[in-house]
Amino acid sequence: MATKYHNLSEYNSQSLPDATSYRVAIVVSEWNDNITHALLDGAYQTLVKNGVKEENIFVDFVPGAFELTFGAKKMAENLSCDAIIGLGCIIRGETPHFEFIAQGVTQGFVQLNVKYNIPFIFGVLTDNDMQQSIDRSGGKYGNKGDEAAITALKMIAFSKKM
């Protein structure tokens, strides 16, 4: 659903599981850090607000969105986590670079979800311009970081149920 019809930060807290024992890692792209740090703040605060203990949230950074896949893979191999969230921001430019990076990181997260036995959450903005990214990182359409955190909590519960 388009974010202009659904705010990224809206969710029903009653539908969320008890997350007090959950362990969540977040890997964040440093590229477009004004946006990605806002995404991180949203994700982190949403996890804490919904019961994840601060000592059970692991955050690290990689240079750009393309490196999120490797960062998430290393977190899966070296941390005991229930889910890993990747946060990034790719803004369309004048060359095909946008498409290559967006497709690469998307496919990377698909592969991680298939390879490992934990959910990898895709919290990457792929916007046409900086204003769209601002609007989706705490602006008028909410925060994609909030949405990624809620998705992580729901997918952890789903995974544990199975």
Catalytic residues, which ones? 97
Token representation of residue 79: 């941390």
Contact 88, 105 (CB under 8 A): yes
For the chain, the distance separating the N- and C-terminal CA atoms, rounded to the nearest angstrom, is 27
Sequence letter at residue 108: G
Question: Hunting for tokens 């955190």 — which residue is that?
Answer: 149
Contact 25, 87 (CB under 8 A): no
CA 90 vs. chain centroid, Å, equals 13
Contact 142, 98 (CB under 8 A): no
For the chain, the helix, strand and coil percentages under 3-state DSSP, each to the nearest 5: 50, 20, 30
